[in-house]
Amino acid sequence: MTMTDLLQNQIQKEISELTDSINLIVDNFKTLRNPLAESHEKVPIAARQLDKVTEQTEAAANRMLDMLETITERQGEVITGLETIKGEVEKQGAEELTTLANSLVEKVNTNLNDAYSIMDALQFQDITSQQVNHAVSLLEDLGGKLQTIVTAFHGNPPEETAEEMPRKERAFDPRADMNDKKTNQADIDNLFNNRA
């Protein structure tokens, strides 16, 4: 066997091994194709579930606002009534009743302020819905990338599933947070006070 024959055999062996390796990689990709396609199909389902969280917390927050508006209006009427009673008992010099009326007015005012505090706390709904929208947007981006990979395996785009739906426009602050304000109000005010 000549040197050229030996070299040729060696090259053929290398090519054969290389082909085997490529076939193995292709087989591995083929086994990955179905799980990737499945994951791609699950993205819109997850996005829809997260959208439902936003819809349901918004509906709940609005039901709470309905009740709080009713409560605050009613408490206002109670305070007006108690003030009238207080005026009358003061005129009659009934000290004990005046003290009681004062105490009741104070308690109703505390209830009213508590109701307003609950109302203020419902701002969480807007902030958490922005956080959820951010998460959905990331999921949708991931879905797009998965689709590109699945399309590459299939040679054409995967069939649209029943769960597919057009991407809706989402407006959110990716850094929205209930507690972590990057700039405090005093610094914001300074910026505005020192503007040119």
Partner 1 sequence: MADLKILAVDDSPTMRRIIVNTLKRAGYTDVVEAQDGKDALAKLKVESINFVITDWNMPEMDGLTFVTTMRSTDDLKEIPVLMVTTRSVKDDIIDAMKAGVNSYIVKPFTPDTLKQKIEQILAG
Site track 76-105 with partner 1 (rule: CB under 8 A), x = hit: ------------------------------
Which amino acid, one-letter code, is at 20?
Answer: D
DSSP state of 175: T
Query: Smallest gap, in angstroms, from Cβ of residue 84 to partner 1?
Result: 22
Q: Which is nearer to partner 1, 3 or 191 (CB)?
A: 191
Please count the CA atoms within 13 angstroms of the CA of 102 that sit on its side-chain side. 7
Q: Which residue stretch of 44-52, 77-85, 157-165, 188-196 sits at the interface with partner 1 (rule: CB under 8 A)?
A: 188-196
The gap between the terminal CA atoms of the chain, to the nearest Å, is 89
The answer to whether 141 and 21 have CB atoms below 8 angstroms apart is no
Query: Smallest gap, in angstroms, from Cβ of residue 122 to partner 1?
Result: 6
Single out the residue of 22, 185, 92 nearest to residue 101, CA to CA.
92
Could you say whether residue 20 binds partner 1 (CB under 8 A)? Answer: no
The answer to whether 138 and 184 have CB atoms below 8 angstroms apart is no
Could you say whether residue 182 binds partner 1 (CB under 8 A)? Answer: yes
Q: Which is nearer to partner 1, 32 or 60 (CB)?
A: 60
The answer to whether 159 and 151 have CB atoms below 8 angstroms apart is no
CA atoms of 3 and 10, how far apart (whole Å): 11
- Size of the residue set binding partner 1 (CB under 8 A): 38
CA separation, residue 112 to residues 81, 106, 191 (Å):
15, 10, 36
Q: Which is nearer to partner 1, 37 or 47 (CB)?
A: 47
Question: Restricting to residues 145-164, which ones interact with partner 1 according to CB under 8 A?
Answer: none
Question: Which helix (H) or strand (E) segment is 10 a member of?
Answer: helix 3-91
Residue from 7, 26, 67, 178 that binds partner 1 (CB under 8 A)?
178
Residue from 46, 50, 116, 137 that binds partner 1 (CB under 8 A)?
116
Question: Restricting to residues 22-81, which ones interact with partner 1 according to CB under 8 A?
Answer: 58, 61-62, 65, 69, 72
What does the binding site for partner 1 look like in residue numbers (CB under 8 A)? 58, 61-62, 65, 69, 72, 116, 119-127, 129-130, 169-173, 175-178, 180-183, 185, 187-189, 191-192, 195
